[in-house]
Amino acid sequence: MAGTGVGIGQVSLVALAIALIHCSRDHSVVVSALGFSVIGFAVTDALISRCGPSFIKIGLFGKDMSKIGKPVLPEAIGAVSAMVYIMIMFFYIPFIFYRYMVLDTVGGGDRNTSVEMNGWSKSSFPHNKLSEYLSSVLCLESTIVLGIFDDLFDLRWRHKFPLPAIAAIPLLLVYYVDFGVTYVLVPNFAKDLFQGKTLVDLGVGYYGYMAAMAIFCPNSINILAGVNGLEVGQSIVLASLSLINDLLYLTMGNESSRDSHLFSAVLIIPFLGVSSALYKWNRWPAKVFVGDTYCYFAGMVFAVVGILGHFSKTMLMLFIPQILNFIYSCPQLFNIVTCPRHRLPKFNEKDGLLYTSRVNLKENPPKRVFVPVLRILHFCKLIDLETDQDGTLVSCSNMTLINLVLVWFGPMREDKLCQLILKLQFAIGLLSLFGRHAVGAILFGHDNLWTIS
């Protein structure tokens, strides 16, 4: 197995990566990002092929419930891709700042000249950009450690809930120092509510909002999970959508927005590399499970990019399926309708298809006040509610996006289900981006990509 791991394919991938990195000396950081992305893919792929047995040996494994025979697979393998990403980002730093390090650095002097060095001019090294970059990687690595602890110890919700916000402290601090923008735009139609103001200052509330985003993004990926390839798949879709948005700005945007979206592309492109390698192993039929580490890490990549790239609201639009999944899950999360330990779709060994999993409402009736809501949801085809002849509730489908898709489209094989959800996510994301730039421009009177006269 180890022998087959490093084949001609991998060697040529690495060669391509080195070529891309070399090219980038004269060109753009995006080209070297592509190179590091390819290296990330190759290294992650090679490591995953070797790591599985070690993970199983120390007890990190799980059963794949949606397969015949419930095979045992290594769990938390996403930690490998996440750490490869961090290492890649370390090697990437000199390439990002190559221009400044070779042309502009004032260094190389004696200790005594350092006082003079500290009085850098505007043309010298962009320490603020380096701080942004370092704080991002630091935030991601802290999230990874949180994920590893969660994978190992199965932390309780109340313990792990605030931790991503702590991990985001360096990020928020850099935001405060470098940008400090806490204004939001008011849509034209709502201006009267704010005495005709176009901007409303949220002040400290804006930092609360960003901390909430750092908590939401990692967890939202973690709860839209349980089907082979879905965690990594949705992350890849989100990354691609985010990259499309970046490319729009990089090709058509103004100078200041270009900077933010270059930063975003620099973080997202290598992320796509390591995630694709993980997807290769996690897609149906899965050979490994990704674990909480990857979900937290992936979610935090988007939070970081959204916050320091100044498009946190656009980023949240890409998370609409995750937000809907969260809202849809709320009745069960808050125990208004009983919530079983697992809400995964049910696997039928006979036809190999996944069916909606159901809650028994006879044994565990929902809160009385919620019964009409359930009937309305059923009427709107948002759940599948089973009643007996006299109208008593018997069971309903579990309230997750995955089960809802099965309610809508009927039972299907696991890979088809995953593909369908990913396509939905991609379509909604594209629509959101269109809405953001087309409808947004109408609502706000202008858009930072173009201005309507």
Question: Can you tell me whether residue 436 is helix, strand or coil?
Answer: helix
Q: Which of 220, 269, 340, 379 is nearest to 261 (CA)?
A: 269
Binders of a copy of itself among residues 339 to 398 (CB under 8 A) are: none
Residue 120 in the binding site for a copy of itself (CB under 8 A): yes
158 binds a copy of itself (CB under 8 A): no
Q: Which of 108, 196, 372, 391 binds a copy of itself (CB under 8 A)?
A: 108
* Interface with a copy of itself, residue 450, by CB under 8 A: no
Residue 141 CB, shortest distance to a copy of itself, in Å, is: 5
- C-beta of 170 vs 366, nearer to a copy of itself: 170
Where are the extended beta strands (E) located within 356-392? 358-360, 385-387
* Beta carbon of residue 269, minimum distance to a copy of itself (angstroms, whole number): 19
Q: Is 70 in the site for a copy of itself (CB under 8 A)?
A: no
Query: Between 308 and 377, whose beta carbon lies closer to a copy of itself?
Result: 308
Of 16-24, 64-72, 128-136, 232-240, which part binds a copy of itself (CB under 8 A)?
Answer: 128-136
Give me 88's structure tokens: 């890649």
| Residue 347 and residue 71 in contact, taking contact as beta carbons nearer than 8 Å | no
Q: Which stretch binds a copy of itself (CB under 8 A): 112-120, 211-219, 406-414, 426-434?
A: 112-120
- Contact status: 174 vs a copy of itself (CB under 8 A): yes
List CB contacts of 255: < 8 A, sequence separation 6 or more: none
- 88 CB-contact burial (10 Å; exposed 0-12 / middle 13-18 / buried 19+): buried
Q: Please, which residue, 140 or 399, has the CB nearer to a copy of itself?
A: 140
The residue from 1, 4, 69, 112 that contacts a copy of itself (CB under 8 A) is 112
Stretch that binds a copy of itself, among 63-71, 180-188, 296-304, 404-412 (CB under 8 A): 180-188
In the bound complex, what is the minimum distance in angstroms from residue 319's beta carbon to a copy of itself?
A: 22
CB 267 within 8 A of CB 300: no
Q: From CA 206, how far away is CA 306, in angstroms rounded?
A: 13
Cα–Cα dist 44/26, whole Å = 28
Question: What's phi and psi for 73, nearest 5 deg?
Answer: -125, 150
Nearest residue to 56 via CA among 248, 361, 287: 287
Residue partners of 341: CB distance under 8 A and separation at least 6: none
Decide if 418 contacts 406 (C-beta within 8 A). no
Among 161, 183, 379, 434, binds a copy of itself (CB under 8 A): 183
3-state secondary structure (DSSP) of residue 446: strand
CA distance 237 to 242: 9
Provide CB contacts within 8 A for 271, sequence distance 6+.
Answer: 85, 235, 239, 298, 301
Nearer to a copy of itself, 167 or 418 (CB): 167
Residue with tokens 């992350």: 235
| Token pair recorded at residue 265 | 């592309």
Question: Are the C-beta atoms of 272 and 236 separated by less than 8 Å?
Answer: yes
Q: In whole angstroms, what is the distance from residue 105 CA to residue 115 CA?
A: 14
Q: How far is it between the farthest Cα atoms of the chain?
A: 90
CB of 138 to a copy of itself, least distance (A): 5
Q: Which stretch binds a copy of itself (CB under 8 A): 7-15, 88-96, 315-323, 415-423?
A: 88-96
Piece of 24-32, 149-157, 324-332, 371-379 that binds a copy of itself (CB under 8 A): 149-157
Please pick, from the candidates 36, 97, 296, 297, the single residue that binds a copy of itself as defined by CB under 8 A. Answer: 97
Give least dist CB 46 to a copy of itself, A: 13
Closer residue to a copy of itself, CB minimum distance, 125 or 355: 125
Residue 125 contacts a copy of itself per CB under 8 A: yes
* CA distance linking residue 197 with residue 188, whole number of Å: 9
246-305: contacts with a copy of itself (CB under 8 A): 255-256
Part of the chain binding a copy of itself (CB under 8 A), chosen from 22-30, 144-152, 361-369, 395-403: 144-152
Q: How far is the CB of 440 from a copy of itself (least distance, A)?
A: 15
Give the up-direction half-sphere exposure of residue 384: CA atoms within 13 A in the CB hemisphere.
19
Binding flag, residue 141, a copy of itself (CB under 8 A): yes
Q: What does residue 61 show for φ and ψ, rounded to 5 degrees?
A: -150, 165
If one asks whether residue 131 binds a copy of itself (CB under 8 A), the answer comes out as yes
Name which of residues 45 to 64 contact a copy of itself (CB under 8 A): 54, 58-59
Binding site for a copy of itself (CB under 8 A): 54, 58-59, 83, 86-87, 90-91, 93-94, 97, 100-101, 105, 107-112, 114-115, 117-120, 122, 125, 127-128, 130-131, 134-135, 137-138, 141-142, 144-145, 148-149, 152-153, 166-167, 169-170, 173-174, 176-183, 199, 255-256, 310, 448
